[in-house]
Structure 1
Amino acid sequence: MAVGALVTALFGQLLAGTAAAAPPDRTPSPGRIAWEPCQSPSGEGSFECASIKVPVDWRRPRGATIDLALARHLATDPDRRIGSLLINPGGPGGSGVDFALTAPESFSPQLLERFDIVGFDPRGVGRSNPVKCDADRVADQGALLYPDSASSFAALREANHALGENCRDLTGPLVDNMDTTSVIRDMETIRAGLGEKRISYYGVSYGTGIGQQYAERYPHRVRAMTLDSNMDHSLNPWTYQKTETIAMEESYGQFADWCARTASCVLHDRDGRALFDSLYRRAAAGELVLPGDPPYTFTTQDLQGLAFGYMYDPASWFQFAEELAYLDAPDAASGRLVGKRGEPTEFGYLPVMCQDYDFDLPSYRTLARFERGLARLAPVTRLSSLAWSDLTGCQNWPTEVTNPPHRLHVDGTPRILVTNSRYDVATPHSWGSNAARQIGHEAVFLTYDGVGHGDYWLSPCARDAIDTYLITLKTPRRGTHCPAVWPTGPSAQRQSPSGGLVNPLPDLLGTGTRR
């Protein structure tokens, strides 16, 4: 897919009834996992890697299987080891193996001392039989995600169905079994293979959806669970769009206000909201053209996607301001890049989302009504590019909604720590507070009052609360708020304020994943 250099830079930075009604499972008996020494890309830390077999289709447990890839960072103080801490970075499509391999740089020394940090690539992701789709069809579908007529909506539906069928052809029946219900049964198999009676868990972004539904189905297998930047699996299509769009508008507003009060921001003397509105209107008119050979016409979708990606971590805001300034007055320094097409590419995102949410709409008229309503809610940014592509990308997807939305029914777990930033563009604060309400008295909700996604790397206060809870099981007081942290200079943009840790999410949640 041809994109401008700015968009390419953005991508380099960047989720059968209710589980409560499901019959009880027999504990899987996979045997102990056979670990072998392995090494992280950085060479830091002591790691082991392995794989474990799970059924492709849990309704046919004796049928075909796939191998799930695992990695663990061994506790650095084995005499004081608490147990295994399973982790997931989100997506859907983020690699838990790669997440674990970043442990020495990404998690606090206190956690590294007391836990084996265990990551796994969920089914259809990374090293676990990845879903493959033809890059041509992915690109063709991507060009149709913003229909403006009944005919283009029909073309989108046709492209979605063709893409899903192509993924099935290239990958096999796993494509029809990518729902989170299957993932949590995989995770229970991993728990048994680890030989742990109960596990601790840290999930961020879509990883919270895995944790929520694991706690729902296997409450007595949970020792401790932190859900950071939460999904809300109870939402209907409109509420999903509405909450995501409000989060985008509010997050961008926080950026504009920060820039106005930060002298070193290149847009300090500009009205950030008015600038975005001007750029949007120019893009809508086809007048936002970047130099290159040939020139690249920057679209409204490009602009919304660019802004969305930079809301994940305010540490990148100095660069975001520079890119907005460049868009307003481009020069010839930027070129155009062309990606490969016509080859199989990993694409695990929609196969999960389209089986976990029922997004299908009856007509283009309904979609257009959504778009008008969202623009009224968000007069500057207009909509959330993530939520919109979730909605449009799932129209007429060929697999069934095997894990339909439902309210959580959690009963019998220990206390669960639920955290969310006040301005989270990908998983809004309302999702976290709603998830905590659904979990009920087992949940303790903490709010980080800043902007971004992944509280552990954004807030020293939130990180300390998470570490303390996972190690000691002591939760913060209900209703705790952590103060916002704002960037003060453009240097060390990947450096987390949380004890010098590196935020791994921008690299882990790249192309093919969203949350």
Structure 2
Amino acid sequence: MSSHPPLARPVARHRRRGRLAVGTLVTALFGQLLTGTAVAAPTAGAPSPGRIAWEPCESPSGQGTFECATLTVPVNWKKPRGATIDLALNRHVATNPARRIGSLLINPGGPGGSGVDFAFSAPESFSPALLERFDIVGFDPRGVARSNPVRCDGDLVTAQSELLYPDSAAAFTSLRRANRALGKSCRALTGPLVDHMDTGSVIRDMDAIRAGLGEKRISYYGVSYGTGIGQQYAERYPHRVRAMTLDSNMDHSLGRWDYQRTETVAMEESYGQFADWCARTSTCALHGRDARALFDSLYRRAAAGELVLPGDPPHAVTTQELQGAAFGDMYDPASWFEFAQYLADLDAGAPSSAESLGRRGEPTQFPYLPVTCQDYDFDVASYNTLARYERKLARLAPVTRLSSLAWTDLTGCQNWPTEVANPPHRLRVDGTPTILVTNSRYDVATPYSWGSNAARQIGREAVLLTYDGVGHGDYWLSPCARKAIDTYLLTLKTPRKNTHCPAIWPAAPSAQRQSPSGGLTNPLPDLLSTGRLGQP
């Protein structure tokens, strides 16, 4: 899951590598998919997945042996003989075919993260043991990247982003109008697929992929919003699961207030962990200062229009920009040395803070709200309800006030012109093998309460593993969690119930992107830089 602009998750200002690009051979293979084909006309009969026809292709890094393909699925699964789209797929072929277990489907979250790019990162991002025993299969979900991407009017995206924090009944009315206009533009530019972006449709697609792979049962690793796909797949197709790891979990049972409350508490707690780390870390730029009081001071100055950065013209930092910056840097403590310096520079009005602020995000195209607004019922009756929420959240989180992610989810879905096709509900999972659920104790995007609640809903089929640190995506944050995930996927052996992995804290600026990953590259900052979630 993923705020400055509010529709794009703030990204780390330093990356190991740029966002994954698609190589020449892949471009040739996917052809028109990469530019976004129109939805295909209705066919004479229902599409038959058959076996997927794989062709060799090359990863952007040149590492690993890959194959690519497409698979035709209905736009509307209730009308399987109607219009269709093609899903883009790829797979990293198991490096030891003689010991191959099967296919491991993966999804990086978003909504809007590219599963194809996630799979292309596999040689650098997943352990050699997984690469040896599984075909790592990625797919771009419907409406994402190469799978008939959702397109919306860019001017209307910008117009909406400026209205997501309404401060009056009139501003709320303007927001509702902007949301409606934006949603209608998505439908006009994309076609009927926009009305069928819910997770329920995605899991139908995923089962078509399973059939196309020729697998009776699949293994699955989903992170962030990818856990929502996994949870609901297990609910609908319990006997088609061999193994499933859900890392940094969504909670699809939440109503609009509980969604806000849990996300806001997670933001406040995560920032509190950052402040406590600074207090005990002599090399933190805020060491010796009260980082909570500093954020409160910066917020009050921003609210009064007094937090102004030098430039031509000068830039008055808004409270939304400040909250979005803090939110983005809670995804991974590796960025905390830099984030602390950013806050110090911001307090001093240093030019470097203005430069950092300007690099935090870009507007994005645009599957996020079409999925979110069909998976959650976020409409509120009036501005008065919204204002009451804001006051209650500020009492819950006196430092950070609210979660910029959750708030823009709520406001962005007001008056959205599609139905809630997949409304929130408690999971009803029965008949799967054991599912490994992991969550960090302080996860700003998918709170720990979401992971523990998802495990309770799954019930006897779930084992919950807790990483006691901060961040999103346990596989790359905790060697302990990564070992447990690898062991489970390979052998089906889970850790004991209520197992905890110790927190890992950044020790020095030079180690920002090292120790916890064990030499692996965390792909999530790149994959989710164009989406909101991880997103969960």
| TM-score bin (small chain) | over 0.9
Does 2:283 align with 1:264? yes
Query: Quick one: which of 79, 97, 112 aligns to 1:93?
Result: 112
SS class of match (1:346): coil
Q: Deviations over 1:293-323 (max 9, x none)?
A: 2121110000000000000000111111111
- Which amino acid counterpart does residue 230 of structure 2 have in structure 1? G
Question: Do the aligned partners of 1:11 and 1:511 also contact (CA within 8 Å) in 2?
Answer: no
TM-score, normalised to structure 2, is 0.90
Assess, with a 3 A threshold, how the Cα gap between structure 1 residues 161 and 246 changes in structure 2: closer, same or farther: same
Matched with 2:196 is: 177
Matched with 1:17 is: none
Question: Do the aligned partners of 2:10 and 2:328 also contact (CA within 8 Å) in 1?
Answer: no
Report 1:77-116 matches (<5 A).
77-116=96-135
Distance 1:339 1:398 in 2: 29
Matched with 1:412 is: 431
Question: Do the aligned partners of 2:364 and 2:530 also contact (CA within 8 Å) in 1?
Answer: no
Distance 1:311 1:97 in 2: 26
Does 2:226 align with 1:207? yes
> How far apart are 1:131 and its partner, in Å?
0.3
Distance 1:203 1:10 in 2: 22
Query: Quick one: which of 375, 386, 399 aligns to 1:380?
Result: 399
> How far apart are 1:38 and its partner, in Å?
1.1
Matched with 1:457 is: 476
> How far apart are 1:289 and its partner, in Å?
1.2
Distance 1:449 1:2 in 2: 28
Question: Do the aligned partners of 1:29 and 1:193 also contact (CA within 8 Å) in 2?
Answer: no
Matched with 2:334 is: 315
> How far apart are 1:489 and its partner, in Å?
1.2
Q: Deviations over 1:315-374 (max 9, x none)?
A: 111111111111101233545869999xx9620000000000000000000000000000
Deviates further, 472-481 or 34-43: 34-43
Distance 1:159 1:460 in 2: 45
Does 2:411 align with 1:389? no
Question: Do the aligned partners of 1:354 and 1:394 also contact (CA within 8 Å) in 2?
Answer: yes
Matched with 1:429 is: 448
> How far apart are 1:492 and its partner, in Å?
4.6
Structure 2 alignment gaps of length 5 or more: 20-45
Distance 2:286 2:244 in 1: 41
Distance 1:308 1:284 in 2: 18
> How far apart are 1:29 and its partner, in Å?
4.1
Question: Do the aligned partners of 1:12 and 1:506 also contact (CA within 8 Å) in 2?
Answer: no
Assess, with a 3 A threshold, how the Cα gap between structure 1 residues 459 and 182 changes in structure 2: closer, same or farther: same
Matched with 1:23 is: none
Question: Do the aligned partners of 1:32 and 1:195 also contact (CA within 8 Å) in 2?
Answer: yes
Matched with 1:148 is: 167
Does 2:148 align with 1:126? no
Question: Do the aligned partners of 1:220 and 1:412 also contact (CA within 8 Å) in 2?
Answer: yes
> How far apart are 1:233 and its partner, in Å?
0.3
Question: Do the aligned partners of 1:28 and 1:192 also contact (CA within 8 Å) in 2?
Answer: no
Query: Quick one: which of 70, 81, 85 aligns to 1:66?
Result: 85
Distance 1:446 1:338 in 2: 35
Query: Quick one: which of 245, 249, 265 aligns to 1:246?
Result: 265
Does 2:472 align with 1:444? no
> How far apart are 1:269 and its partner, in Å?
1.3
Matched with 2:417 is: 398
Distance 2:207 2:97 in 1: 24
> How far apart are 1:513 and its partner, in Å?
2.7
Distance 2:212 2:392 in 1: 49
Does 2:297 align with 1:278? yes
> How far apart are 1:493 and its partner, in Å?
2.8
Matched with 1:52 is: 71
Matched with 2:33 is: none
> How far apart are 1:9 and its partner, in Å?
6.0
Assess, with a 3 A threshold, how the Cα gap between structure 1 residues 369 and 340 changes in structure 2: closer, same or farther: closer
- Which amino acid counterpart does residue 267 of structure 2 have in structure 1? M
- Which amino acid counterpart does residue 57 of structure 1 have in structure 2? N
Matched with 2:487 is: 468
Assess, with a 3 A threshold, how the Cα gap between structure 1 residues 173 and 191 changes in structure 2: closer, same or farther: same
Query: Quick one: which of 231, 240, 250 aligns to 1:231?
Result: 250
Q: Deviations over 1:142-162 (max 9, x none)?
A: 100000110000000000000
- Which amino acid counterpart does residue 306 of structure 2 have in structure 1? E
Question: Do the aligned partners of 1:133 and 1:345 also contact (CA within 8 Å) in 2?
Answer: no
Matched with 1:19 is: none
SS class of match (2:351): coil
Question: Do the aligned partners of 2:4 and 2:10 also contact (CA within 8 Å) in 1?
Answer: no
> How far apart are 1:290 and its partner, in Å?
1.5
> How far apart are 1:495 and its partner, in Å?
3.5
SS class of match (2:345): helix
Distance 2:528 2:328 in 1: 11
Distance 1:133 1:340 in 2: 18
Assess, with a 3 A threshold, how the Cα gap between structure 1 residues 492 and 136 changes in structure 2: closer, same or farther: farther
Distance 1:339 1:284 in 2: 20
Does 2:518 align with 1:499? yes
Assess, with a 3 A threshold, how the Cα gap between structure 1 residues 12 and 340 changes in structure 2: closer, same or farther: closer
Distance 1:174 1:321 in 2: 43
SS class of match (1:132): coil
Question: Do the aligned partners of 1:161 and 1:398 also contact (CA within 8 Å) in 2?
Answer: yes
Distance 1:151 1:300 in 2: 20
Query: Quick one: which of 366, 380, 398 aligns to 1:347?
Result: 366
CA root-mean-square deviation: 2.1
Distance 2:85 2:312 in 1: 46
Matched with 1:21 is: none
TM-score, normalised to structure 1, is 0.94
> How far apart are 1:447 and its partner, in Å?
0.5
> How far apart are 1:11 and its partner, in Å?
7.5
